[in-house]
Amino acid sequence: MSSGYNDNISMSNTKMDSWLLDHDNVTHAADEIMADINERNKVVRQGTNAATLNSGIRRKLGQLTTSIASLEQALDRAGRQYTITDKELSRRQGLTSALRSRRDQLNSMFNKNMEPGQAEASRDTLLYGAPGRAFGQGAAPVEREDTQGLDNATLLSRQQQIMQDQDRGLDALQAAIARQKHIGVAIGDEVDSQNQLLDDLEDGMDHTHGKLRQETLHVMTITEKAKTGGMLCIICLLIIAIIVVAAVPN
């Protein structure tokens, strides 16, 4: 059993090395977000509108959340399949935990240093969409229970996941429509082929009917000739009989 366990570990080295590479990429992404937040804070202190920077940081935070979740899922699969030692599994779980803590720290820094009212506005935008023109007094939107207590990055990640699910659903629908189209084209081709066979069969029957009529006329002609030949034979026999009778003396 120990040999099989070691074989599983050796076969998964390449895959787990890719996990470490992904971890390094996520760490680098977190560093970039930190630099963007510092740049945003500098712009805010200068009194310049930082809406574009805030939008980019918010998007990157959502991507960071998704990437960390992917690392955790890959690590969980490796642990269940025994493709990594317990010691290494524990070490990498610590790495992902540190990444998640750093993500929370970045999210806190992002919301803490935003312009007054902008953090709440960004959350409302994530939940209810961008504000539009409205007439009259409408009821204020109410946040659903399943989104209460979630930070902006998690909300953004959830919305991105919903949009990805919708995209996959549309792709599946498009594939189904394409399959139906191919089936329809195949049925049309088969109908055309069957129609061609029926046309060929009709042409063959017409040709056979023509030959049958020709042969029938031929048989009728032969029959008429046979009747005429029989009458000639009878006449000849009668003539011979008359000659014989006349030649015999009384």
Query: Whole-model pTM?
Result: 0.43
Separation CA 210–CA 216 (nearest Å): 10
| Residue pointed to by tokens 């992917």 | 70
The residues, any chain, with a CB within 8 Å of residue 109's CB and separated by 6 or more, are 37
* pLDDT confidence band for 135 (50 / 70 / 90): very low
69 is written with which tokens?
């979740």
| Entry field: residues in the chain | 250
Does residue 126 carry a pLDDT above 60? no
More confident call, 244 vs 38: 38
Separation CA 36–CA 54 (nearest Å): 9
* pLDDT confidence band for 160 (50 / 70 / 90): confident
Q: What is the pLDDT of residue 25?
A: 94
Separation CA 215–CA 207 (nearest Å): 12
More confident call, 148 vs 162: 162
* pLDDT confidence band for 146 (50 / 70 / 90): low
Mean pLDDT, the chain, rounded, equals 77
- Among the residue ranges 18-32, 168-182, 217-231, the one predicted with the least confidence is 217-231
Q: pLDDT (tens digit, 9 = 90+) per residue, 174-210?
A: 888 888 888 888 898 889 889 888 988 888 888 888 8
- Evaluate the CA torsion angle 203, 208, 211, 212 in order and state its sign: negative
For residue 224, what are the CA distances in angstroms to 99, 218, 220?
A: 110, 10, 6
| Domain boundaries of the chain, sorted by first residue | 2-128
* pLDDT confidence band for 241 (50 / 70 / 90): confident
Q: pLDDT (tens digit, 9 = 90+) per residue, 58-78?
A: 899 999 999 999 999 988 888
4 is written with which tokens?
């099989």
Separation CA 56–CA 156 (nearest Å): 12
Short-list 99, 78, 84, 82, CA closest to 26: 99
Backbone angles phi, psi at 170, to 5 degrees: -65, -40
Average pLDDT over residues 10-16: 50
3-state secondary structure 134-188: CCCCCCCCCCCHHHCCCCHHHHHHHHHHHHHHHHHHHHHHHHHHHHHHHHHHHHH
* pLDDT confidence band for 94 (50 / 70 / 90): very high
Separation CA 5–CA 199 (nearest Å): 69
State the amino acid at position 230 in one-letter form.
G
Query: Is the separation of the CB atoms in 15 and 83 below 8 Å?
Result: yes
Q: What is the pLDDT of residue 11?
A: 45
Query: Is the separation of the CB atoms in 65 and 154 below 8 Å?
Result: yes
What is the CATH code for 2-128?
1.20.58
